[in-house]
Structure 1
């Protein structure tokens, strides 16, 4: 049986720019992939102000966009991928795929579309509580995906993690 898929994106947002810096997603077996994203030149602001984002780290450690989109195509084809619904995930996914002149091979939906018994605020409160209980840093995308997996498991959508 294929498990629901989850995704979380860390991003840089300044007055002049918004772009993804790291992404994590779950696979059909509940495993996760996480990558730092090498930014496209067009994403970078003219003034070079990226707040507290380390551009050198992104450029040196980041996965090229073509490689990232290839992996996403392999791992998430024709899937509905669930996100926490708080971040501009659809915009960030569009940025990734439009930079390589492709369309995303999956649809993004908020976790509330998977878990019907709880309202959005309750889901977010529980997600934050899980992050805290597990001692996870909320800004890391792999922790965001793990919290969504735990939430889905609690609600009976996953057998084992």
Structure 2
């Protein structure tokens, strides 16, 4: 059974730009991948520091953009990938792919395009309640993807275990 795929990006916002710092995505078999992103130098503010983030952690644990882009090309080719619709995911994806001179191999769409019988506000309320019920930290992208997977399962788009 081919499952819908989901993606979530954690980012830091400065006065001048958005900086993606972590990303998670699901695969059509239900597995999930997550990475910390090594920011590009030209994304960084003039003082070289991102507010509320440990730059050293990003430098040590982060994955270079070219590796992330390569993996996304392998994992999500020619697919529609669903996002919660709350974050500027399309801008962040464009930023990541344009930094290495590639086009995204997938199309982003809001979860509201997958689950069409609920309005956007109800979908967000349900996603938020899942996060609370499961004790998920909303700032971790893997938790955002997990919540969307659970929401899709509740809506009958995936087989329950």
Please give the range of the TM-score, normalised by the shorter of the 2 chains: over 0.9
TM-score by length of 1: 0.97
Distance 2:48 2:37 in 1: 17
TM-score by length of 2: 0.97
Gaps of 5+ in 1: none
Distance 1:160 1:143 in 2: 19
Aligned counterpart, 1:53: 53
Gaps of 5+ in 2: none
Matches within 5 A, 1:19-30: 19-30=19-30
Aligned counterpart, 1:132: 132
Q: After the TM superposition, which segments of 4 or more aligned residues of structure 1 sit over 6 Å from their partners?
A: none
Aligned counterpart, 2:150: 150
Indicate if the aligned counterparts of 1:82 and 1:109 stay in contact, CA closer than 8 A.
yes
CA-to-aligned-CA distance 1:47-97 (integer Å, 9 cap, x gap): 334110111111110001010000000000000000000000000000110
Q: CA deviation at 1:12?
A: 0.7
Q: CA RMSD in A?
A: 0.9
CA-to-aligned-CA distance 1:19-61 (integer Å, 9 cap, x gap): 1000000001111000000011111111334110111111110
Q: How many residues align?
A: 161
Distance 1:49 1:147 in 2: 31
The answer to whether 1:98 aligns with 2:98 is yes
